Amino acid sequence: MAVRTATPVTGWLLRGRDGRLTAYAPAEGGVARWTETRPGGPGWTGPELLPAPGLDPHLSIARNDQGYMYLVGVRRRTVPGDEGDWTATEVVYATQLQSGRPVTNWRSIGTPHGQDWDRAAQIGAPTAVVDSAGLHVFVRNAGGGVCGRQMDARGIWGPWTDLKGSHVLDGMAAAVTSTGRAELLAPAAEFVLRWQQDEPGGAFRRLRNIPAKPAAATAASVATADDRITHFWREAADSALHTALPAADDEPAGASLGAVGTGPVAALRTVLDGHDCTVLAQRALSGLPAVAVFPSGDETVGGQWSETGEDFAGAPALAVDALGRVTLAVLGADGHLRVARQQTDEPGLALGDWVRV
């Protein structure tokens, strides 16, 4: 199975309702999937192909509280016509109800541009998040703004809504707090754009822009407290990692973490040695995985980056396995999954040997 080079995203390693981790990657003809054979491993099954003809090589994956995984992408299919073939572009999603089980059929939710296929073909890659009300899907529209659509708990989709914005680049990011309140981040030409819900399941309200010149496809978001989300991106000029400062909305600002690399960072909140921590993982300029640990909510403090493993493609992913261990996964240049887990008998975050799946 040929794993495809994709727009780098980090949220592709998730834990299911039964405790098993599952990894996903775009592949020729659909999605490649690896699944732990038991909670906490060490064995894996896969890769197996989840068929999805015409799917772009980009996935956004969101998990709900019941452990359902929503796989969201863009599908392009050729449609014959009286005046020649044309391409229909649609946002599609499939649902995995249990670890290792087949996914549902891929269903279309259209695009913000309806049957205007020329404009539909210009949408960006989708970003998905599940809040207390249901699944949200966001895309950059043909005009450079952001549109979203929501599926409620009954499985009913509302209309596409225009969240405004302009000059948005590829690679938005979204996250949800433990209280069910979501936020959205979008890199743009001269700013970082932000939206947030003021209450769980509420409408998305646009916040003031953060002055920045972010690089496309480098945004990442993670909940770093019960009701706080921290956002990250890279500046286009030097590829340094930046984060949004917890400032008042009338003076939004970002701060550099000084970590230079490529693509978005994987981010995870966990407890290490009794301390509330944010673990970040990136693809360093060397091409190797690099990991650092920060105090949650104060990611501009400390953080020594340590490189590990070997050269890989795309962006890394982080998760906590069923045994409570931080788990780092990458896709090797050969298309094979590689996994390293925390050694819990050592202080701090020490990773064990890498396993090639």
Instruction: Give 339-350 pLDDT, tens digit per residue.
Output: 999 999 999 999
Quote the pLDDT of residue 85.
75
Quote the pLDDT of residue 225.
92
Range of lowest pLDDT (45-54, 209-218, 296-305) = 296-305
Quote the pLDDT of residue 4.
67
What token pair was written down for 72?
């969201």
What token pair was written down for 356?
């090639």
68-74 average pLDDT score? 97
143-170 average pLDDT score? 96
Quote the pLDDT of residue 83.
72
- Of 116, 106, 119, 100, residue with least CA distance to 44: 100
Quote the pLDDT of residue 297.
84
- Please say if the pLDDT value at position 248 is more than 60: no
Name the pLDDT band for 135 (thresholds 50, 70, 90): very high
Residue 37 near residue 322 (C-beta atoms within 8 A): no
Give residue 300's identity as a one-letter amino acid code: T
- Torsion sign (Cα): 11, 15, 16, 20: positive
- Please say if the pLDDT value at position 228 is more than 90: yes
Quote the pLDDT of residue 222.
96
- Please say if the pLDDT value at position 52 is more than 80: yes
Quote the pLDDT of residue 6.
59
121-136 average pLDDT score? 96
Name the pLDDT band for 253 (thresholds 50, 70, 90): confident
273-301 average pLDDT score? 93
Residue 341 near residue 353 (C-beta atoms within 8 A): no
Quote the pLDDT of residue 79.
82
Quote the pLDDT of residue 249.
61
Quote the pLDDT of residue 94.
98
Give percent of the chain with pLDDT exceeding 90.
85
Quote the pLDDT of residue 7.
62
Query: 119 versus 259: which is more confidently predicted?
Result: 119
Give percent of the chain with pLDDT exceeding 70.
96
**For residue 2, how far is the Cα from the chain centroid?**
21
Q: What secondary structure letter does DSSP report for 118?
A: H
Quote the pLDDT of residue 333.
86
Query: 40 versus 5: which is more confidently predicted?
Result: 40
Quote the pLDDT of residue 101.
95
Query: 4 versus 146: which is more confidently predicted?
Result: 146
* Residues in Cβ contact with 138 at an 8 Å cutoff, skipping those fewer than 6 apart: 126, 127, 128, 146, 147, 148, 163, 172, 174, 184
What token pair was written down for 207?
């916040």
Quote the pLDDT of residue 119.
97
187-215 average pLDDT score? 95
304-325 average pLDDT score? 95
Ordered alpha helix ranges (H), the chain: 117-120
DSSP per-residue letters across 182-246: EEEEEEBSSEEEEEEESSTT--EEEPPPEE--BPTT--EEEEEETTEEEEEEEBTTT-EEEEE--
Where is mean pLDDT largest: 298-302, 317-321, 335-339?
A: 317-321
- Please say if the pLDDT value at position 118 is more than 90: yes
Give all domains of the chain, ordered by start, each with its CATH number: 13-356 (2.120.10.10)
- Please say if the pLDDT value at position 13 is more than 70: yes
Quote the pLDDT of residue 5.
57
Quote the pLDDT of residue 169.
96
179-197 confidence digits (pLDDT tens):
999 999 999 999 999 999 9
The radius of gyration of the chain from alpha carbons, rounded to an integer in Å, stands at 19
Q: How far apart are CA 111 and CA 8, in angstroms?
A: 22
